[in-house]
A = this chain, B = another copy of it.
Amino acid sequence: MSTPPVAGASALPLETRAAVLVEAIPYIRRFAGRVVVVKYGGSALGAAGAGGEAGVLARFAEDVVLMVSVGMRPVVVHGGGPQIGALMERLGKTPRFVDGLRVTDAETLDIARMVLVGKINRDIVGALNAHGPLAIGLSGEDASFISVAERDPALGFVGDVVGVDASVPGRLVTGGFVPVVATIGAGERAQAYNVNADTVAGALAAAMGAEKLVLLTDVPGILERPDDPTSLRAALDVAQLDALIATGAISGGMIPKARACADAVRHGVRSAHILDGRIPHVLLLELLSDAGVGTMITSAEER
């Protein structure tokens, strides 16, 4: 394989290597054949790690490939808000807002599709396929598998998820492929709409009967006091999560993420996770070791 092993790995004593691998056994067995939906966030895309953006994406790809290798069935969902804005700017397109929300006219929709489907989706597919012919890109328009309804005529082509045909990504997953999903949905007569990526990830996890939903972000997880990193909540049930939203402890961009997690868990996903995408291989650590990272949301019974 072309990825160079992390420096120092071969220097480890045999017992240490064995210990790590043995520790992974029960997790590998538990998750074999299960779907795990991973939202790879626009922010994570922009987080500059040791190796720069490309390094972040390459490490993320390694984690997904390892998930496949040990028998899990990952599905990647991504958005791309900042990159859409950047292209609009380059094309001299002035954003319009209604009640603080961006209006998506036909041209903006075209730009969003070009960035999401034609650029970010392609980059993720390419990073995964560097390990072998594994990934296939999808948009919710394909076979109209993500159905949406228009949220508000004043906002233009902004949609809310009203249905997911899990058989389209499911067919790929059982064929051994990793679907990489751009969050464009299909409305009446297959009209395209832009949709929130966290919401799509949650709905997809529920529709596919996923074991886990993982949202990669650029924060450590859910903090009881937003400015205090020591107030990280390692585990919450959905009622506790609701309470944190109600009290305002969860606010801003974290609200749709929290809601996506709660909805997925309420529809049968075993656990939802909000992780810090800036930690190298955080996905793999969450999935295959005893190390506790980020915030895990489950049903009250599951706890």
Contact = CB atoms under 8 A, between A and B. Distances in A.
Contacts of A134: 143
A71 interface: yes
A70 B26 CA distance: 11
A25 interface: yes
Which range holds the interface residue count of chain A? 35 or more
A91 interface: yes
B125 A114 contact: no
A30 to B, nearest CB: 9
B129 A137 contact: no
B9 A23 contact: yes
Q: How many copies does the complex hold?
A: 6
Contacts of A184: 122
Contacts of A121: 117
Interface stretch (A154-162, A218-226, A236-244, A285-293): A285-293
Interface of A: 1-3, 5-6, 8-10, 12, 14-26, 28-29, 32, 62, 65-66, 69-71, 90-91, 110, 113-119, 121-122, 125-139, 141-145, 165, 168, 171, 175, 177, 184, 186, 189-192, 279-281, 284-285, 288-291
Given A114-B115, A128-B190, 7 more contacts: A5-B22, A6-B18, A25-B65, A114-B119, A126-B190, A137-B141, A171-B171
8 contacts: A9-B20, A17-B291, A114-B118, A130-B190, A134-B143, A135-B142, A137-B142, A171-B175
